[in-house]
Amino acid sequence: LRQRPASKAITALLLRDSASNWCARCGTCLPRLMTSEGAQARVSRMILIVDDDSDVRETSADMLTELGYTVQQAESGVQALEMLGKTGFDIMVTDIRMPGMSGLELSSLAATRHQALKIILVSGYFQPQALSHRFLQKPFRTDDLDTAIRAELGSEASPVR
């Protein structure tokens, strides 16, 4: 494990054995990560995770960091909008139910201000009806989140912009 300078985030070292690839953090097999296709699709992709629950936010960020994405975190809609104005994110993954500004309000404002931004809404309580963005039900697995992100990136999932 390696801690990044000036950050509380720890990057997990991935170990490869002859039969498969394993995540040293959780022991989950991540065969796509070590392939050139899987790694290249994630290079330089900036993802913003927005959730008022720090455990969910940090776990989601850890999942995506392990997959090779560059991740930043916001604990509120207001903080997310500030960060979106300063950094070019490719995707925002936001919880729907948050105090103050909801994820639905955030996604509407973010989509208007940052038209190229892809948005994924997540919730453990909300039942999707007619949403204009991709929806992911909590709890979700690493593969579910990765699949949703790759689907949003679509043909843009090339190595570097």
The 3-state secondary structure of 75-112 reads CCHHHHHHHHHHCCCCEEEEECCCCCCCHHHHHHHHHH
20, two tokens: 């498969």
Global pTM reads 0.70
The confidence score (pLDDT) of residue 124 equals: 87
Q: What pLDDT score does 131 carry?
A: 65
- Cα 113 to chain center, whole Å? 20
pLDDT recorded at residue 130: 56
Residue 30 vs residues 27, 46, 78, 124, 135: alpha-carbon distances, Å? 9, 20, 34, 25, 23
Question: Going residue by residue through the chain (161 aa), what tens digit of pLDDT does each one get?
Answer: 444 444 444 333 333 333 334 344 444 444 444 444 444 445 569 999 999 999 999 999 999 999 999 999 999 999 999 999 998 999 999 999 999 999 999 999 999 999 999 999 999 886 666 567 888 888 899 999 999 999 998 845 433 33
- Looking at residue 107, what is its pLDDT? 95
